[in-house]
Structure 1
Amino acid sequence: MTGSDVLLRVRDLVVDHRAPGGTTLRAVDGISFTIRRGEALGLVGESGCGKSSTAQAVLMLRRPTGGRVEFDGQDLARLSPRPLRRLRPRLQLVFQDAASSLNPRRTAAAIVAEGLAAHRFPRPWDRLVDDALSSVGLDPRTIGHRRPGELSGGQCQRVALARALVLSPALVVCDEPVSALDVSVQAQILNLLEDVRRQHGLSLLFIAHDLAVVRQISDRVGVMYRGRLCELAPAERLYRRPRHPYTRTLLDAVPRLDGGPGPAAQAGRADPGGSGSSPRPPRGCRFRSRCPQAQDRCAEVVPLLRPVAADHQVACHFPD
């Protein structure tokens, strides 16, 4: 992968949160990944594992505590406010709960135009707004004058996506964009995202906890646990042959058509105990307290992300 192929490069990213009482919680602990131009990277893990904190740091909504976030060759954390503002149209976010992210007093057309106004795009905007709404499957003539309270959940999510697309971004970060929607509507939004990505040549950072959703939209998938990446691989390879015990546990937890437990649970491997959001992770491997194959080395040495196959990396001392 050459430098020109990479749109986003995250290196050793660290994000700390200040907790009540003055303590510091490390939400993201030294993760690294890249997103190629036109690629969709899925980020999956339990609630509290650091996925949303990673998204906020990538977009500079929360300044990272350490590490680098390079977008198109520029380190965003080192940019002053003015040049960072000039870059923002190329970095857009679609929130989890679209309805709450839309101004309830504005029409759909006015909401889509918010970014154009904020970044002082030359008027008139009508054609840009109409094209953005049409590109997400909404009729500007019937939807443009409606307010969020008059729209369904799926329509609100489409308006939120149109608001991001109208600025012609290069990277769109989707933070749990379909988790609040019905299953049938989820499929529609995922198909729409895939179509839009190919039409506009977008790169996506797609965050979710639903493994089936991530598989449908992503070219590669990164699995996070307690602030660290434990596996990163092409989607089909990761789902066909996961190499990290935590990834296998996640996949085995997916309900089967026959209603039975996954193969790992049947074999006694999947341990439901523990939490991805614990403020005090153990020494060594953070998954070792739940891992059936943990050994003495796992308690002493932090496993680093290393290649085990072409474009497949695992942070495990005993991946096989």
Structure 2
Amino acid sequence: MKRRQALKRLLQASGGMVATLLPGCVNSQHLRLLFAVEPQQFDQPLPEHRVTPVGEFYVQSYASPPEVNLDTWQLQFTGLVDQPLTLKFTDILAAPQADFYLTMECIGNRTGGKQIGNALWMGTPLLPFLKQVGVQDKAVEFMLHGADSYETTLPVADLMRSDVQLVHRMNGEPLTRSHGFPLRIIIPGRYGQKQPKWLTEIEAIATPKKGYWERQGWSNTAKIATHAIAQKVQGEKVWNKNYHIDLPRMGESGWQGGVTLAGVAIDQAQPMEWVRISTDNGQTWMQADINQPSSPHEWTLWQYLWQPTQPGTYKLLAQAKSRTETQKIIDKNGKDGSAGILRISVNLEP
């Protein structure tokens, strides 16, 4: 197989991401390359799913993970409801269960950062329980409480969607202590700060309030913005502030045979229409290959084969567009989620 043909397809599902700090994100101990680098694997088609291993999934924490006793754990529905309800873990398991893929990202994830991961979750819809308790008309928000004393709020309508889930399994296994054992809530389209772990109470309230991170100035809506994240250039990861790469002309990582670029793109709720690549700092753009995940809440995988002809220093950019939003070139407000475009400097040696 010729190198050009071999490089046409990139990426076999593997690997994941970890976190740094801000807000409430802590480092995992592991960091694995996202994409296969052996040329004989580049002819594989983009998979529909790429799952982040639990041990490499970023961790978002307001405080130290609490010790939760499953035998005594309860989820309470309180406040402005007609019939307050207390659920045990067996009640959660007795409800209808479903698996679904969803990508979660920390709102503090900087442009091109690694505080993002994709998992196969299992849980049960929240909506039937809200209908059972009868949310009163004067309720305007729900306050979500965790066993670690974390709290955040969302409008009533946002939690009464059919896709909001009470989750107890991640990648086929029970939630670990770090990821919210025994139960966390998943609210598609929101950054992680709106999806508390160790969930213990859902309180209907009449007056809007702000949660812990929101009181620190972070977005109160925390809606995910459309954005692409470049993760790898010619076998070298470009996250973790490594935004400059030197490539030799020849050899296994040489640029003369083509340079592979790859990453992910994510949107709040719409399928991705395109991811495009610029190798000249945004003057011209070329469309990348993307996959078609079954859920708009799961990251879109993208890849591009760049075939430069001259040495020099180039600025690489990746931009995404969903059905409703095009990624900003520059995003100055980092406290609503960093959605600006990462500029990667690549030096092609003579």
TM-score by length of 2: 0.29
The structure, 1 or 2, with the larger RCO (C-alpha pairs under 8 Å, 6+ apart) is 1
| Larger strand percent | 2
Kindly indicate which of the two structures has a greater share of residues assigned to helix. 1
* Structure number with bigger Rg: 2
Structure-1-length-normalised TM-score? 0.31
